[in-house]
Structure 1
Amino acid sequence: MEAVFKSDRGKVRKLNEDSGGIFKNQYAVLALVADGMGGHRAGDVASKMTVDLIEEKWKRLNGELRAGAAEEWLYQSIEEINLQLSQYAENNPDCTGMGTTLVAAICTEEFISIAHIGDSRGYVIDQSRVLQMTEDDSFVNALVQSGEISKEDAEHHPKKNILLKALGTKGKAEPSIKTIVPENGTIVLLCSDGLSNKVNEDEIKMILSGEYSLEEMAEDLIRVANEHGGEDNITLAAVKVNVPDEGGGPL
């Protein structure tokens, strides 16, 4: 499987509070994107801690995960990390109120499991479509889901950045998790809102349908986000899965 991780500060922010990475073992690829938030430097602490902690758990895995076990591993790992972040903030006053989004994908030739909390997104791209696998845990998306505003209104809503869920809060994190069966050439794209707010699905499909490398495609996505303003940090992780073309769908 081809995989790439890229993060850019953008054109406005002085600090990059995003984190993430690509982590491989002999059975699967784990892709991560976390977008930190909080007071001075607390956001980058939260996002980096999250990525470091889940990477440690990944390295301790013994054996191959099947689809159901992968979902359970993601859920339990995220709940444990949520508790660790909350405790760290309590013990470190400079990090009071810190938190982070997280979108994580375990990718194999047999299945792709995507977990998320917050408004960082996970997409699946194949030859015919761009499918958004995650629903933003945000105030504005709740208004969209209830029918109070349209998706078009949501794009420019003044409270667009208010999150209803994030890692680092007290209590349960309760991440959302979905699993699909990939097609040959399926691309998994995880990104912070610095990308998804600036590059629409048509542009994503056009770029990721190219005949060049995943690395070059990732660079193009970041370039377009910056050309459209680049007001936020821009981070993505992408994985291309090559399997026999037997079709895919929900498990």
Structure 2
Amino acid sequence: MHKDSPTGRPLTIGAFAKACRLSPKALRLYDELDLLKPSRVDPDTGYRYYAVAQLERARLVAWLRRLGMPLARIREVCALRPVDAARAIRTYWAQVEAETAARRDLAEFLVKELSATSRKDTTMLELRYCAHSDRGRVRPANQDTAYAGSRLLAVADGFGPAGAPVSSAAVEALRVLDTAELPSGEVLNLLQDAVRDVTDAVRDAAHGCEDEAGTTLTALLWTGSRLALVHIGDSRAYLLRDGALFRITDDHTVVQSMIDEGRLTPEEAATHPERMLLLKALSPSAPATPDIRLQDAEPGDRYLLCSDGLSRVVPDSRIRHLLTSAPAPDTAVHTLIAAANEAGGPDNVSCVVADVTETTEGT
């Protein structure tokens, strides 16, 4: 007689789901992920059966999911001895609390930004900026392009045989906005039109390498009181406000999508073999639409645009420290690039830093 249940028979997927408080849909997913395999699958119907002895593991999985733990990490915890599993859960929860504190700071920032009142007409804001691009210590050539002007800030990271001319063409196509009229309420439309010109410029610059060449692009267009953001790829834009650092772009990468889906932890993503694989970029062979939106600015804000040659080797905590301690944009730019090179400089690294400063009309 089997010892799977009091009656000697395994539990059906429905009965097992009810007993462990996991849905049949979740159980099927965990089977596919090798997280919770059924004890037997009917060869004719494909129906899944589970042993009573599997309930303990299933309930642990259900509890960990209620904690919000990603599936990849749950698999690791379930493979540990109870005492080691307890330690791993304690470590995970400490990370959750730290991330919750960071999200709390972000929420406070958003509330402050969305609740901001209009400034007096006599108050003017302007940018003070610096841009620099460096080959790094490993790459034979620099395929990055960095630019900073009175209105436009931009970083592009080219790839493929024509990476350098493609990234340069993308930024050059946006530079017309540095001197263009910016009609009130039309900035986003103007930027969308400019993005079409950028796409054409990228295609022309790729000449013969359309299937392999492309570039990321992260740019901010200054309107006098707000910044319009255009972003595609894994270059980044950060905002330093009141000593707190916020990343205001999302990486368009395979590993970031896996993190968002709970299939990877940020720690796993850092060493994942596909961590540099882009989901979206400006490329003649696979046209994609950048993210475009408006960003309110406040006096004292410091913005950083950078290629992944910085963000992949210098952690955000270090970036925040360097941005906070540098007295001026040019000092910040060169200090950040030096930090990337001190960390090995495995890639080209480009940085643009801009400060939002307040002036009074007539002074």
What TM-score do the two structures reach when normalised by structure 2? 0.60
1:58 matches 2:173 = no
Q: Mind listing any 5+ residue stretches in structure 1 that lack a counterpart?
A: 245-251
> Residues 98 and 171 of structure 1: is their aligned pair in 2 closer, same or farther, counting only changes over 3 Å?
closer
> Which of the residues 163, 180, 189 maps onto 1:72?
189
Structure showing greater radius of gyration is 2
- Cα distance per residue 1:43-62 (max 9 Å; x no partner): 0011011112221x32562x
> Residues 123 and 211 of structure 1: is their aligned pair in 2 closer, same or farther, counting only changes over 3 Å?
closer
1:81 matches 2:207 = no
Give, in whole Å, the separation in 2 of the partners of 1:163 and 1:211.
32
Corresponding position of 2:163: 43
Which is helix-richer, 1 or 2? 2
The answer to whether the 8 A contact 1:101-1:119 is kept is yes
Corresponding position of 2:110: none
Corresponding position of 1:247: none
> Which of the residues 156, 161, 169 maps onto 2:276?
161
The answer to whether the 8 A contact 2:158-2:216 is kept is yes
Q: Alpha-carbon deviation of 1:98?
A: 1.0
SS class of match (2:282): coil
> Which of the residues 130, 141, 153 maps onto 1:4?
130
Give, in whole Å, the separation in 1 of the partners of 2:156 and 2:328.
24
Q: Match of 1:173, as an amino acid? A: A
The answer to whether the 8 A contact 1:75-1:174 is kept is no
Corresponding position of 1:199: 314
1:34 matches 2:151 = no
1:97 matches 2:179 = no
RMSD: 1.9
**Residues 183-192 or 69-78, more deviating:** 69-78
SS class of match (2:149): strand
1:233 matches 2:348 = yes
Q: Mind listing any 5+ residue stretches in structure 2 that lack a counterpart?
A: 1-126
Q: Match of 1:70, as an amino acid? A: V
Give, in whole Å, the separation in 1 of the partners of 2:201 and 2:332.
35
Structure 1 residue ranges (4+ consecutive) displaced by more than 4 angstroms after TM superposition: none
Q: Alpha-carbon deviation of 1:87?
A: 4.8
**Residues 177-186 or 29-38, more deviating:** 177-186
Corresponding position of 1:16: 142
Q: Match of 2:143, as an amino acid? A: E
Give, in whole Å, the separation in 2 of the partners of 1:112 and 1:214.
17
The answer to whether the 8 A contact 1:107-1:239 is kept is no
- Cα distance per residue 1:209-236 (max 9 Å; x no partner): 1252211111110111111111000001
The answer to whether the 8 A contact 1:119-1:136 is kept is yes
Q: Match of 1:80, as an amino acid? A: D
Q: Alpha-carbon deviation of 1:172?
A: 4.4
SS class of match (1:242): strand
Give, in whole Å, the separation in 2 of the partners of 1:195 and 1:69.
33
Higher relative contact order (CA 8 A, sep 6+): 1
Q: Alpha-carbon deviation of 1:109?
A: 4.3
Q: When the two structures are aligned, how many residues end up with a matched partner?
A: 233
> Residues 173 and 69 of structure 1: is their aligned pair in 2 closer, same or farther, counting only changes over 3 Å?
farther
Q: Alpha-carbon deviation of 1:174?
A: 1.1
Q: Alpha-carbon deviation of 1:170?
A: 4.3
Q: Match of 2:170, as an amino acid? A: T
What TM-score do the two structures reach when normalised by structure 1? 0.86
**Residues 172-181 or 215-224, more deviating:** 172-181
Give, in whole Å, the separation in 2 of the partners of 1:225 and 1:9.
11
The answer to whether the 8 A contact 2:166-2:205 is kept is no
> Residues 211 and 232 of structure 1: is their aligned pair in 2 closer, same or farther, counting only changes over 3 Å?
closer
SS class of match (1:243): strand
The answer to whether the 8 A contact 2:310-2:340 is kept is yes
The answer to whether the 8 A contact 2:326-2:332 is kept is no
- Cα distance per residue 1:7-54 (max 9 Å; x no partner): 110011110000121122xxxx21010000012xx1001101111222
